[in-house]
Amino acid sequence: MDSDMPQANSKPHEMFAKGVFTCEIVSDIVIGFDRNMPIVEQYHRELASQYLEITYEQSKFPQIHQTKPSHSWRIISSILIEGPWPINRHYWSDKDFDSPDAAIMALDLSRDDFTLGHSRYFSGLFLKLRRIYREDWQGQVIKPLSDATILVLSLDCRRHLIVEN
């Protein structure tokens, strides 16, 4: 894991949400153009039946990092996505106002929805999960592969909430 992600034995200051989605890739398709003709086909690397893991946390900005008065009420979000190529490893954190990643991550986390968007096209990723029953979730990942091609993965996920003592 990245050093910015809190370790299992760390106690973030006022954690609001923390969990892990373990997702099986149910299907993988490529959508794009080849010589101005639309294509929709199974991805040649066949990602179906492989897994990816999404670890997320939302907490109050730790006091040791509060350097500005506006930090006293700041909520931070961190997301780590690990999976097979071309998903590999994606990490976002808005822990610092001066961070180059600040304001390019959009996270929406509610009781029934988990949506992550990233505004840099080639390094970007869009993830949308919807709760279907208790901690069973389904959704998709959309990942650009080139200017004219995107990869769409359908996911079947199970969420494990992490509760700190």
Residue 57, amino acid: E
Gap between the Cα atoms of 20 and 163, Å rounded: 11
Position 33 in a domain: yes
Percent of the chain clearing pLDDT 70 (strictly above): 70
Position 10 in a domain: no
**What pLDDT, in 10s, does the model give residues 58-104?**
877 655 555 665 555 667 778 888 999 888 887 777 655 444 544 45
Gap between the Cα atoms of 117 and 121, Å rounded: 10
Which tokens sit at 9? 């034995």
User: pLDDT at position 164, please?
Assistant: 64
Position 85 in a domain: yes
Task: Give the residue among 89, 90, 91, 87 at the shortest CA–CA distance from 43.
Answer: 87
Position 2 in a domain: no
Residue found under tokens 């929805």: 113
Gap between the Cα atoms of 76 and 74, Å rounded: 6
Position 118 in a domain: yes
The domain total for the chain is: 1
Position 148 in a domain: yes
Find the domain containing 119 and state its range: 15-161
**∠ CA 67-70-71, rounded to 5°:** 50
Position 66 in a domain: yes
CATH of the domain at 138: 2.40.160
Position 35 in a domain: yes
Query: How many C-alpha atoms does 51 have within 13 Å on its Cβ side?
Result: 8
Residue found under tokens 């909430």: 161
User: pLDDT at position 4, please?
Assistant: 45
Percent of the chain clearing pLDDT 90 (strictly above): 32
Task: Give the residue among 25, 30, 55 at the shortest CA–CA distance from 140.
Answer: 25
Which tokens sit at 114? 């988990």
Q: Is the CB of residue 53 less than 8 Å from the CB of residue 157?
A: no
The whole-model pTM stands at 0.76
Q: Is the pLDDT of residue 48 over 80?
A: yes
